[in-house]
């Protein structure tokens, strides 16, 4: 591999790293929602994988059945985090998808 090819690969890797960082920062500003219990519990998460809000309808709060409320919160939280992860993964795939690095032949698409 020539020095020029190696230099091209390094420049492309640096550009890609900067784009990935930008995409991750942008994802933190985007949110997704998930509900459980027919909308009784709503959880909002951002692309950084953080839960940013939880809304619970009064009707679902039953002191005699705290376990059901916990299950609803858990289900909505897991779904919101799954959606946030999917959103971020989709953004990263768009960024790196089909990337062809010189000198790697068909292997370039895996980097």
Question: What would the mean pLDDT of 7-11 be, rounded to a whole number?
Answer: 85
User: What tens digit of pLDDT does each residue of 51-110 get?
Assistant: 999 999 999 999 999 999 999 999 999 999 999 989 888 877 777 775 554 554 444 443
Tell me the C-alpha distance between 46 and 20, whole Å: 17
Domain range list for the chain: 3-101
pLDDT at 99: 57
For domain 3-101, give its CATH number from 3.10.520.10, 3.30.1310.10, 3.40.50.1950, 3.30.300.20: 3.30.1310.10
Half-sphere exposure of 62 (CA within 13 A, CB side): 10
Query: What pTM was estimated for this model as a whole?
Result: 0.70
Question: What would the mean pLDDT of 7-30 be, rounded to a whole number?
Answer: 85
Question: What would the mean pLDDT of 8-33 be, rounded to a whole number?
Answer: 86
| Buried-exposed string 9-38: b where 16+ CB fall within 10 A, e elsewhere | beebeeeeeeeeeebeeebeeebbbbbbbe
Tell me the C-alpha distance between 55 and 39, whole Å: 9
Tell me the C-alpha distance between 70 and 77, whole Å: 10
Question: What would the mean pLDDT of 29-39 be, rounded to a whole number?
Answer: 95
Torsion of CA 47, 52, 56, 62, to 10 degrees: 110
Instruction: Find the largest Cα–Cα distance for the chain.
Output: 72
Residue 62, helix vs strand vs coil: coil
């Amino acid at each position: 591999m020539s020095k020029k090819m190696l230099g091209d690969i390094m420049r492309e890797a640096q550009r890609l790293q900067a784009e990935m960082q930008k995409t991750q920062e942008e994802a933190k500003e985007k949110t997704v929602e998930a509900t459980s219990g027919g909308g009784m519990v709503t959880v909002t998460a951002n692309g950084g994988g953080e839960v940013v809000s939880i809304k619970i309808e009064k009707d679902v709060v039953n002191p005699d059945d705290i376990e059901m409320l916990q299950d609803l919160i858990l289900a909505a939280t897991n779904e919101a985090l799954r959606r946030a992860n999917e959103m971020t993964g989709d953004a990263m795939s768009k960024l790196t998808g089909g990337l062809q690095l010189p000198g790697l032949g068909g292997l370039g698409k895996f980097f």
